[in-house]
A and B are shown apart, each in its own frame.
Chain A
Amino acid sequence: MYTFSSKLKTFSFILMALGVVGIVFGFLNAPKTIEDVEKLLADSHHGHEVAHVEKIAPQAVDTHIVADTVNVAVAHVADSTHVETNNTTVDSTVHVEDTTAVVAVAESPAHTDNHKTHSKADAHYQDDHKAHLEHVLHQLQNKPWAALYVACIFFMLISVGVLAFYAIQYAAQAGWSPILFRVMEGITAYLLPGSIIFFLLLVAAGMHWNHLFVWMDPEVVNPESVKFDKLIFLKKGWLSVGRFLGTAAVILIVWNYVRFKFVKNSIAQDAAEDNAPYKRNFKLAAFFLVFFIVSESIMSWDWIMSVDPHWYSTLFGWYVFASFFVSGITVIAMITLYLKSKGYLEHVNTSHIHDLAKFMFGISIFWTYLWFSQFMLIWYSNIPEEVTYFVTRIEHYKLPFFGMLVLNFIFPLLILINTDFKRLTWIVVMAGIVILFGHYIDFFNMIMPATVGDQWFIGIPEIGALMFFLGLFIFVVFSALTKAPLVPKRNPLIEESKHFHY
């Protein structure tokens, strides 16, 4: 039996406490009104408002735009978006009261036309500026929410990835892995608290406490409103808060139920007379994998892709899957190495670690394959309505967007390709830390551009949220590991697993 070391427990509490402080700080520091934002912007880029408006325009695509804009060439997305926004605002507010412009041009009657357009343009600027400030306000108010959301979904999906890996091991009747089943069961224990917090976050979004999901705003699908968005309106059959929360509840309940049954049968097998609990788990694994692949796809549309409701990609579900699957396997390897180093897993040898490292390596490449396939297809055809997704990312997230390729692909490729290296604890742990960080950045890149746009920063709210969920993860997982013996007793494949050598 494993005993939770008091040092690790204290460490996890410290992480959670610091994390809560960071999260609260993030919420308190978010601006409340447009005036706050104006002050913030004036402090940071004084005198560059116009340039800033221009720069931020592609972001506007996501929130307040008319359907027609999607037809313009990519290079001009910024400009045309800008124009569209101007037109809509002009229609609703026709007031020309700019004094300086009037004085300057009024002296010459010949320039009346000019004057009109000029002052009109100035009025546009005023309105545009206000719209821009409101836009930045939403982004900054989203920041602490998005930071929380990214960290929450990342850690929850790690436990889901481990659950999928566990089910695959059962369904494939793998001979090497039963020795690691209890470690995997411990990690999936995080699924329950993780998914409860996550569901509460989704409910918070559904209650309009934040602007994470643009389509949740009822104004957006109201044809009478200035915020009306035809594209979202056409998708409202799927994108409705009730359907969204209902699907999320069903998916999370089934995942948690399956996890509960898996662990129950696994423990029952320890004391069983025959292999009945094992067989039940085998069948459950087969059922779960079918359910999982469907639910995983749906959850990737709902929880991740729908932050960009104008954009869609068919292989997105697989891409998200590869990301958290490799993170899950990495966490299995790291926790196994930790327990092994504390002397708890005497039957785990370097061959088991080698196999896990091979999975880390292989699935990292698989992730890259999907990332590149998605990116290259969209880059190559350059269809404006699809490519804005990557345009905003490359423009505002250059370092995280391409940096994660180094972390998630180049680094594991060069380090984990060597057979001898895959058996060395420090190499696997180092690669594991890099891969986990890289996939956090991956989720960051999926959520942030649509929610906070170019206002992103990995600061106190983001690190705080990460620390809180890391602390919770460590606490829950290692508490769960104390609940059952670390070596399953009567698993039909356990002897083979104990003597596994590669």
Chain B
Amino acid sequence: MSGVSRAEVVTVAVAELFRDDGEIVASPMGLVPSLGARLARASFAPDLLLSDGQAYLVDADGVIEGWQPFRRVLDTVVPHGRRHVVMGANQIDRYGNQNISAIGEHARPTKQLLGVRGAPGNTVNHRTSYWVPRHSTRVFVENVDVVAGVGHDNAAKAGPAAQRYHDVHRVVTDLGVFDFAGPDHAMRAVSLHPGVTAEDVVAATGFDLDCTAVPDTRLPTDEELRLLRDVLDPDGLRDREVRR
């Protein structure tokens, strides 16, 4: 199909994260993850539960179908595990450790970020994916400065209680889709977006990354494009978050 933007390919790739999730709470953080989750619910994942970003669960028509204040999220939704969060990341390493806390030495950071937020609890309790709007060596680093989201190596080191429900699933960036099915749970490419080369990705990643024999990320269907363009994001905000 002609005229499909990178942002549209990416949004469909985020939607694909939720395929087969069933009747769980999808918690997308940020614009593209939210569009992706709503696209999934409007097409192949109709049972997903989605919050309005405040205290309500809302169905596809915007009707309030439930109450989910922050306390309930932390007390039961996260520990109960029927949830798939898509968080942002200031840094990610090859084993899926993620940082949203601070850059530099934690005692006196060069840049204070959000803090660890719910990342430690999310990553040891339920499926977690990440969204990176600009794939670069600043984000994909050899070692993250603060482990907020727990990667596969640190979950293993922390023992069975940390590993039992640990499920760092995938990373979607503006260049491709990645998982942690490489040797020792190293990150590896699942697909690259049409027009992206393995060299582009390797150059933008601060650690060795297997990009061999990787297919293109699938294009949106006509129906997905219609939903995205006419229903979910008629103002085209997606193109402001994904520029290349």
**Are A and B associated in one complex?**
no
